[in-house]
Structures are given as structure tokens and as C-alpha cells.
Amino acid sequence: MKQELTVLSREWCHLCHDLVAALEPIAAELGWTVKVIDVDLHPELEARWDELVPVVLHGEHELCHYHLDETGVRAYCGAFPLESDA
């Protein structure tokens, strides 16, 4: 079962696009997936996260915002071993 990171983003936000482009290969390397949500399509998310976008979340846990914290994301994701096939 893969773990999933969520990026709260905006279509017009270059920081958002840069963060997703940097995060996707790291997530793939670690066996995680990335889901991108446009906060402008979800008023409840926009109200909560508006000024912090882009934001990387695992569930409700914020890993970073504005810029990718690669070291923090790697450390966080490394604490969640994937289930083995055995």
C-alpha cells in the first residue's frame, strides 16, 4: 500500500509548480504518490491555507509550505515503511 502526499496548490502559482516538480521524483523514489489539489476550487481549503500555498501535507500533518523541505520530507516519509509483499 502506497502512502500519499497532498500538495495544496494553485493553477497560476509558479512556486506551486516548482514544488510539485521537485517533490514528484522524491516521492516516487520513496514509494509515495503525490496528489495535487487546487485550493481555489475548494473554499474550505482556501480559507485555511490561503497564504501558505503551496503546502505539502500527509493527512492533516504539514510537512512544509512555500518551498520544498527535501530533508524534512525524506525524513518524514522514511519513518513510514511500506508494507512488504511477503
How would you write the pLDDT of the chain (86 residues) with one tens digit per residue?
Answer: 469 999 999 999 999 999 999 999 999 999 999 999 999 999 999 999 999 999 999 999 999 999 999 999 999 998 876 554 44
Spatial contact of 3 and 77, defined as CB atoms under 8 Å apart: yes
Q: What is the pLDDT of residue 78?
A: 86
Burial class of residue 3 in the structure, from the number of CB atoms within 10 Å of its CB (0-12 exposed, 13-18 middle, 19+ buried): middle
Q: What is the pLDDT of residue 85?
A: 45
Instruction: Give the chain's domains with CATH numbers.
Output: 3-78 (3.40.30.10)
Q: What is the pLDDT of residue 83?
A: 53
> What predicted TM-score, i.e. pTM, was given to this entire model?
0.88
